[in-house]
Amino acid sequence: MAKVETTSSAVRVWRSFRRCFWQSPEERLLRPAWWVVAINWVLAFFLLSLVAWYAFANLRYNWNWDAVSEYAGFFWRGWFTTIQVSALALVLSTVIGVIAALARRSGFFVLRALSRIYVETLRGTPLLVQISFAFYVIASAIRLENRFVVGVGTLAICYGAYIGEIVRGGIESIGASQLDSARAIGLSRTQTYRYVIFPQAIRVILPGLAGMFANLIKDSSLLSVISIGEFTWSAQQVGGLTYSLFETYIPLAVGYLVLTVPITLWTQWLERRTKFET
């Protein structure tokens, strides 16, 4: 007598319940339903707020949002300065990075060595040290008193080193057969870079570059040590005036997140878009 397979309703309920929270390895390639994703995101936020609530509940702290909120305009000005500094440094560092990458591949050994030294020292030393050194030693030696210029310049030079390596990686990802082909049809070196190397390398470079941009924005906070009125410096000033800590640091964190999260999302979008078959 054949055994009739019956699934009790209890088992079925358990299975659909499990499907809301868990994916077995063989289901890993399937995309979960949107509401499953939504439920789990809410759950994740709920868990995190539990942790936060527990931590703050044990904290003896006099919240004083009123005093801080009086300085809202001050925060905004700092935030906009951070955007300005970051945007300028971002453009400049990209230019410097491309130059460093090209110098590294130059026919002149001196240029190659200089590029190498530049990249290794700037990547190997703390930005904090670089900023202080640039401001108190170099800038004062050449009588450059504009803090903003020194700050943007230092940030751009530091990030130029990282970006140079990303650009170099992108250029070197182009296979020898492509260069052969470019040579065979008679393209000059400059034309080869313009029509063959860069259009292909950009797909490798962009995601890394976007990631660097998020880092650059956060690291612009270090410019507060030379009293540039950017976001972090403003928060520190307000904190000092109102004797508050968390009331200034929480808006600070949110302010940076608002700038970096879109960049991270943009990076992911770029990675998806620039995948191309070879």
Partner 1 sequence: MKLEIRNLSKSFGLQLVLNEISLLLEKVRTLALIGPSGGGKSTLLRVIAGLERPDQGEVWLNDNEVVFEERLLREHRRTVGTVFQSFNLFPHLTAFANVTLPLEKVHQYTPQKARESATEILERFQLMEHAHKQPAQLSGGQRQRIAIARAVAIRPKLLLFDEPTSALDPEMTGEVLDLIEELRQEGRDFVLVTHQMGFAHRVADQIAILSQGRIVECGPPSQVLDQPKEEVTRQFLSRILKY
Which residues are near partner 1 by CB under 8 A? 177-178, 180-181, 183-188, 191, 195-196, 199-200, 203, 276-278
The answer to whether 181 touches 112, Cβ cutoff 8 Å, is no
Please state the closest distance from residue 170 (CB atom) to partner 1, in A.
13
Query: Which lies closer to partner 1 via its Cβ, residue 155 or residue 174?
Result: 174
What letter represents residue 223's amino acid?
A: L
Please state the closest distance from residue 183 (CB atom) to partner 1, in A.
6
Query: Which lies closer to partner 1 via its Cβ, residue 74 or residue 198?
Result: 198
Query: Which lies closer to partner 1 via its Cβ, residue 51 or residue 184?
Result: 184
The answer to whether 161 touches 170, Cβ cutoff 8 Å, is no
d(C-alpha 69, C-alpha 67), whole Å: 6
Please state the closest distance from residue 187 (CB atom) to partner 1, in A.
6
d(C-alpha 67, C-alpha 128), whole Å: 31
The answer to whether 201 touches 167, Cβ cutoff 8 Å, is yes
Query: Which lies closer to partner 1 via its Cβ, residue 40 or residue 178?
Result: 178
Please state the closest distance from residue 129 (CB atom) to partner 1, in A.
41
Query: Which lies closer to partner 1 via its Cβ, residue 26 or residue 277?
Result: 277
Please state the closest distance from residue 177 (CB atom) to partner 1, in A.
5
DSSP H helices in the chain:
9-19, 34-57, 65-69, 72-104, 109-124, 127-132, 140-141, 147-172, 176-184, 189-191, 198-219, 231-242, 246-274
